[in-house]
Structures are given as C-alpha cells and as structure tokens.
Homo-oligomer: A and B are copies of this chain.
Amino acid sequence: MVRSAASLIRSRGVSATSLSDVLADSGAPRGSIYHHFPDGKAQLAEDAIRWTSERLLAHLRTGTPSGPSEVLGRFIDVWRRTVVASAGSAGCVVAGVAIDTGPGEKDLMEVVRATFGSWVAVLAEQLEVAGVPSRRATPIALATLAAMEGALILCRAEGNVRPLDAVAEELMRLLPLERPSRRKRPVHSS
C-alpha cells in the first residue's frame, strides 16, 4: 500500500490521490487501510515519503564513488530513472507532498523538511569525502536537489528526460576540476 501510495502521489500529487485509489492500485482489502493508517491520508503520505527516502539513501550509500562527478552522477541517476521509467510523468513524492500540503499541516511539512535536509546532508558529505572543499559541498548539494526537483517538473511538461539531462550537465560544471589541469593552459595566452 505504501508503494502504491508513493507511486500515485508521484504521478498526481496528494490532493488527487484518494485512499480508494491506493486500495485499487495495491489490491489490498478495504479494511486494511484503516487498520494500518488510522490517521488517513496524511499518514499514508508520511509513510510514502519515508519509504522513498530510505530507498534513495540506500542507493546513495552503495559502493564507493571514485570522485565528485560520480557522486553527483549517482544522485542524478536516481531522478533520471524515475523520469525514464514513467516517460516523464512521475515526479518526486516529497515535492508532491510539499506542494499539496497546507501551512496548517505542520507535522507533515516537518517530515518533508527533514527528508530534504537528510538528502542534502548525505550528498554534501559524499561530495566532501570525494574531495569537494567543505564550504562548497553543501551549496552544490542543495542546488543539485533543487535543480532535480525542478527538472522533474520540466520533464513532466515535455514528456521526456531531455530537460533533466541538460540540467545535469550544468550541475557538473559546479564541481571543482577533478584533475587540476591548469598547468596545461598556456600561461602567456593573453
């Protein structure tokens, strides 16, 4: 049910996802949703966020990237796969909840905030381990998350992954050069 909720929220947001839709998509018996999610849709949204976030973090923590561009590339790849698998139509569960959650729903928005924060923290940490200077790691991680969230919206409008690929190329330019090649540049060119 949580997977169904995540998938539906990703495609159409929270407001347009009803508990009945989740039941129909998951094939779970009607009573079970009230048993597992007594607090209803907000709880389902919260669990869908946690489920998504755990998968993202687990993916980021697999293997040892060889350098900053591989760290960034692996993060971007998670978003790219979502877009490709849905022909552009899937968004981010967490963004979908953020956009559809009113300022009054403080608990749910706090889950959104903490989730985004954990993604930026893990990405920044990995960038730093891979050699990005500490003061640059967090801003680059934040810009990458923002750009990916936005790219998903542009991909949804275009119906393909091209906007994300173009954005990804720009993000790579924010990284310091991995093999400093300044000495190769002619010093007396000007």
For residue A23, CB closer than 8 A to chain B, the reply is: no
Answer yes or no: A173 CB below 8 A from chain B CBs.
Answer: yes
Which A15-62 residues sit within 8 Å CB-CB of chain B?
15-16
Alpha-carbon distance between A149 and B112 when the two chains are bound, in angstroms: 16
Q: How many identical subunits does the complex contain? A: 2
Residues in B whose Cβ lies below 8 Å from that of A138: 166
Q: Once bound together, how far apart are the Cα atoms of A16 and B116, in whole Å?
A: 23
In the bound complex, do residue A169 and residue B99 qualify as a contact, i.e. CB atoms below 8 Å apart?
no
> Could you tell me the distance in whole angstroms from the C-beta of A83 to the nearest C-beta in chain B?
12
Write out the residue numbers on chain B whose beta carbons fall within 8 Å of the beta carbon of A182: 190
Contacts of A151 in B (CB 8 A): 146, 150
Interface flag for A142 (CB, 8 Å): yes
> Which residues of the other chain, B, contact A170 by a CB distance below 8 angstroms?
139-140, 142-143, 174
Q: Which residues of the partner chain B approach A190 to less than 8 Å between Cβ atoms? A: 182-183
Determine whether the beta carbon of A16 is less than 8 Å from that of B171: no
- For A129, the chain B residues whose CB sits under 8 A away are none
- With contacts A98-B153, A103-B89, A153-B149 taken as known, whether A113 is within 8 angstroms of B167 at the C-beta atoms is no
Minimum-distance CB pairs A-B, first 5: A149-B150, A146-B150, A15-B15, A150-B150, A143-B170
Other A-B contacts than A15-B100, A95-B99, 12 sampled, CB-CB below 8 A, are A15-B15, A15-B16, A99-B153, A112-B157, A113-B158, A138-B166, A139-B169, A142-B167, A145-B154, A149-B149, A150-B150, A183-B190
- Chain A residues close to B by CB (< 8 Å): 11-13, 15-16, 89, 91, 95-96, 98-100, 102-103, 109, 112-113, 116, 138-140, 142-143, 145-151, 153-154, 156-159, 163, 166-167, 169-171, 173-174, 182-183, 187, 190
